[in-house]
Amino acid sequence: MVRRIEYFYTSTRDGSDEGFRLLSRLAARNVDWMALTAVPFGPDKVQFTMFPTIPESLIDAARAEKIALDGPHFAILVQGVDQVGAFASVLSTLAAANVDVYSVQGMTDGRGGFSYIIYLKPSDIDRALKSLTAF
């Protein structure tokens, strides 16, 4: 399965208690995640990249909680049956379509499936989706 997904950025002060508070406030407003990353940003901040299951729920919750969001931005989610070379096959297909991959996050689910989030230039998203129809 291949589909376009939305993601948003926000940041908070560094510290597990700050991240916990941010995520707890959003959870209390029923925001559910398909993916989430947090990385250090500068000397004392953490930047979250948030992939909500329902983007509108995050937008509404962030507005109510006065949380600044940057986005939506768009990426591609590729999911399938994991096998040796699965990721190489996805990247090969994109390269053949002249799609320049900016960044990737991938993992397997431990049950034979994989999920890859592929970050692309906005101008490459439609071409990438079209090229990956076999997945």
99 and 119: one domain?
yes
16 and 41: one domain?
yes
Can you give the CATH number for the domain in which 18 is found? 3.30.2130.10
41 and 93: one domain?
no
What DSSP state is assigned to residue 82? Answer: -
Position 134 scores a pLDDT of: 78
Domain hosting 46: range is: 2-72
Position 83 scores a pLDDT of: 87
Q: What is the CA radius of gyration of the chain?
A: 16
The string of pLDDT tens digits covering residues 43-77 is 899 999 999 999 999 999 999 999 999 999 999 99
28 and 90: one domain?
no
CA distances from 117 to 29, 45, 66, 114 (A): 25, 24, 28, 10
